[in-house]
Amino acid sequence: MSWFKRSTKNIISSEKKDLPEGSWVKCEKCGEMLHKSQLEDNMWTCNKCDYHFRIGSKEYIEILIDRKTFKETDKSLRSNDPLKFVDTKSYKVRLAEVEKKTGLTDAIRTGTGEINGHKVVLGCMDFQFIGGSMGSVVGEKVARAVDRAVKLKLPLILISQSGGARMMEAAISLMQLAKTSARLTRLHKAGLPFISILTDPTTGGVTASFAMLGDFNIAEPGALIAFAGPRVVKQAVGKDLPEGFQKSEFLLDKGFVDMIVHRKELKGKMTQLLGLLES
């Protein structure tokens, strides 16, 4: 019930944390003024405090995948708005607006590509698209990415950033948790690796399905990774939350991620891991 709440508050306030406009950017954490070109060179992390700015699938693909090797798949999938959902705005209008604004067709991009020559199937979520929420399209694209990995006998990498399941597809969204998790059993059975990369934020239904099911769960530093978001937990328990609660470092300490990797080292670590598995 309530676990969804905090995460979708993120959805509403998502604009605030999206990659800022203009050529100078203030670090969210330490306040340092950073030039955009410098930030880009630094893979959108602060060179003073290592704060990881929230970036989208386009940036992650640039960071992780060898130039000109990425081939996007299932690009044309769009939600049918099966419930004709209307709140203060219709879901149909919401979808059209966010597509126009972001150029994305839903909250995940999938494809194949190479990481220093290692072929992989990659999926990367976009928080900009309705808070990275998972509905029919995210579920289907993840399922197809699994199928593709099995067919091509390749490792699967999914980069998560999500407020959870998409409310506007209600129970159908909820079923995407089961759909994606069920499909991952096929990858498992085929003996192929699934690497789950968790970025800020990964909460709700995405955490409670594929994001937590990696053979390797790898988090970016300082990312919020949760089932119920901190505001919901605070409301439920009526007391202050421990320092660093639900951050990557907390999850490492509690045993739910294998390692925390700085964005600048992500490609190197992936190359190392894929190399270890292949040899």
Residues 27-86 that bind Zn ion (CB under 5 A): 27, 29-30, 32, 46, 48-49, 51
Per DSSP, the three-state class of 54 is coil
CA distance 195 to 276: 13
CA distance 169 to 204: 15
For other proteins, the closer of residues 63 and 174 by Cβ is 174
For other proteins, the closer of residues 184 and 266 by Cβ is 184
Q: How far is the CB of 235 from other proteins (least distance, A)?
A: 8
Q: How many residues bind Zn ion (CB under 5 A)?
A: 8
Q: How far is the CB of 52 from other proteins (least distance, A)?
A: 21
For other proteins, the closer of residues 93 and 178 by Cβ is 178
Residue 161 site contact among other proteins, Zn ion, none (CB < 5 to 8 Å, cut-off depends on kind)? none
For Zn ion, the closer of residues 1 and 33 by Cβ is 33
For Zn ion, the closer of residues 103 and 244 by Cβ is 244
- Residue 201: cis peptide before it, omega within 30 degrees of 0: yes
Contacts of 163 (CB under 8 A, 6+ apart): 7, 8, 10, 11, 127, 131, 132, 133, 201, 203, 204
Sign of CA dihedral 250, 251, 257, 260: negative
> Is the Cβ–Cβ distance between 121 and 152 less than 8 Å?
yes
CA distance 203 to 145: 21
Q: Where are the beta strands (DSSP E) in 116-268?
A: 118-125, 156-162, 194-202, 216-219, 259-260
Residue 171 site contact among Zn ion, other proteins, none (CB < 5 to 8 Å, cut-off depends on kind)? other proteins
Residue 245 site contact among Zn ion, other proteins, none (CB < 5 to 8 Å, cut-off depends on kind)? other proteins
Residue 279 site contact among Zn ion, other proteins, none (CB < 5 to 8 Å, cut-off depends on kind)? none
Q: How far is the CB of 261 from other proteins (least distance, A)?
A: 19
Cα→Cα distances 33→14, 25, 27, 54, 121, Å: 21, 6, 6, 17, 37
Q: How far is the CB of 203 from other proteins (least distance, A)?
A: 8
For Zn ion, the closer of residues 131 and 221 by Cβ is 221
Q: How far is the CB of 189 from other proteins (least distance, A)?
A: 8
Give the length of the chain. Answer: 279
Residue 213 site contact among other proteins, Zn ion, none (CB < 5 to 8 Å, cut-off depends on kind)? other proteins
Per DSSP, the three-state class of 34 is strand
Residue 276 site contact among Zn ion, other proteins, none (CB < 5 to 8 Å, cut-off depends on kind)? none
For other proteins, the closer of residues 5 and 119 by Cβ is 5
Residue 121 site contact among Zn ion, other proteins, none (CB < 5 to 8 Å, cut-off depends on kind)? none
- What are 242's two structure tokens? 């421990």
